[in-house]
Amino acid sequence: MNKLHLGSLWGMVLLALALTSGCASFSPYSISEGQLESHLQDAVRDYDRTQLKSGSPLSLRLDDADISLGPDGRDVAVIDLKGQVALNVLMAKLPVDIALKVEGAPVYDSKEKAIFIRRVKLLESSVDSSFFKGDLGPITNQVMGVVAQMLETIPVYRLDEADPAQRLFGIIPADIRVAPGRIEFVMAD
């Protein structure tokens, strides 16, 4: 057996022992706010490409995603999104700049091996276009429906099967907990 393979095997054995040791405060793997922000931006970009290829007249560009995990000790994620929604009609593009601040609960889906944001609620919203500027109040329900559906279907993070630690969490019964600034993988109860 080569040394690299043996080292990987020992690493997985040690990780498995640490996970089963029962130490509730120990989490061998956590995801930072920055990792979630980067993954969400990539996922939205992929989602937009898929929507456009399927013939959707709407395009979505996410310029900034600022995620705060565990604010005030609560088990939530607060997400500030800035970007642009454009309606592509008759060879014209009608862009609308949007800014949303939403709050939701990070949830781990073990079948998808991914973290989604669920129970989303709108905290703040604004829109800026040549037709309208200000609060999205009059169309809040429609906007929140779209945002909630997007966050329900687009994971903010997916386990990387190429990483041995992440692959292990995809195999064992795992869950997540929200801590200030990060999400930690823990053994499921």
| pLDDT tens per residue, range 43-73 | 888 887 887 788 877 777 888 889 999 999 9
- Fold exhibited by the domain 29-187: Bactericidal permeability-increasing protein; domain 1 (3.15.10)
**Tens digit of pLDDT for each residue in 144-162?**
677 778 888 889 999 988 9
DSSP 162: T
Residue type, 149: Q
Residue type, 188: A
Q: CA 90: distance to chain centroid?
A: 34
CA distance linking residue 55 with residue 24, whole number of Å? 48
pTM of the predicted protein model = 0.75
Give the domain ranges of the chain: 29-187
CA distance linking residue 87 with residue 71, whole number of Å? 35
Are 83 and 63 spatial neighbours (Cβ–Cβ below 8 Å)? yes
